[in-house]
Chains A and B, each alone.
Chain A
Amino acid sequence: AQSVTQLGSHVSVSEGALVLLRCNYSSSVPPYLFWYVQYPNQGLQLLLKYTSAATLVKGINGFEAEFKKSETSFHLTKPSAHMSDAAEYFCAVSDRSGGYQKVTFGTGTKLQVIP
């Protein structure tokens, strides 16, 4: 069975500071991994995804994530936080057991950016 664990339901950073949102996955087979962002009262927007190619994945809005198999992690980072980054971020996984189509989401991390 696939699952993801997001450490920290709330993360606060100062504007301009490094953003680090943690995600660990569990999957019995090689996974696809995703980060989605949800702004208040809006739908999901894909930030980036890992599908077994390069382990360092660059996404939109300056975000990137690194797939580390040895640590079963897929942490999301951004060098310098912007006020517009304040949102909820979901790590997600899919694997072959669900045909790489059925996505399991983490519980989410709400990012607060302090001016």
Chain B
Amino acid sequence: GAVVSQHPSWVICKSGTSVKIECRSLDFQATTMFWYRQFPKQSLMLMATSNEGSKATYEQGVEKDKFLINHASLTLSTLTVTSAHPEDSSFYICSAPTVGNTIYFGEGSWLTVV
């Protein structure tokens, strides 16, 4: 069946550096993908909608210059956390809908900024 894969699953980076998280649809094409963030003991909040071939759409309160999203192909979206700070430490997860609007989530990526 359809699978969405995220990489890396776990990443630790130093404060001030940038880190890239990949979201791939493995056996289907996704013109749209979604990025969510989950802070400890909180729910998942939609950050942005990634659109293949065009700019991402960010939710209110999400800094587009800090969270760079690139939907480079029909199977790959990347989220780059730029100049990461400890408060960016979170669980980031992507989703991709199939043609029938079945939504598949990636495994998620745990980011720790030290």
Residues of A within 8 A of B (CB): 32, 34, 36, 41-44, 46, 90, 94, 99-108
Residues of chain A within 8 A (CB-CB) of B110 are 41
Total interface residues in chain B, CB < 8 Å:
20
Closest 6 CB pairs of A and B: A43-B108, A43-B107, A101-B97, A100-B101, A107-B43, A105-B44
A99-B101, A100-B97, A102-B34 given. 7 additional CB < 8 A pairs?
A43-B93, A43-B106, A103-B34, A103-B46, A103-B95, A105-B44, A107-B42
Take A90-B43, A108-B43 as given contacts and tell me if A101 and B101 are in contact as well, using a CB distance cutoff of 8 Å.
yes
Residues of chain B within 8 A (CB-CB) of A99 are 32, 97, 101
Closest to A6 in B: B43
Residues of chain A within 8 A (CB-CB) of B45 are 105
Residues of B within 8 A of A (CB): 6, 32, 34, 36, 42-46, 49, 93, 95, 97, 101, 103, 105-108, 110
Residues of chain A within 8 A (CB-CB) of B6 are 43
21 A–B contacts, CB within 8 A, in A order = A32-B101, A34-B103, A36-B105, A41-B110, A42-B108, A43-B93, A44-B44, A90-B43, A90-B44, A99-B32, A100-B101, A101-B32, A101-B101, A101-B103, A102-B34, A102-B46, A103-B34, A103-B46, A105-B43, A105-B44, A108-B43
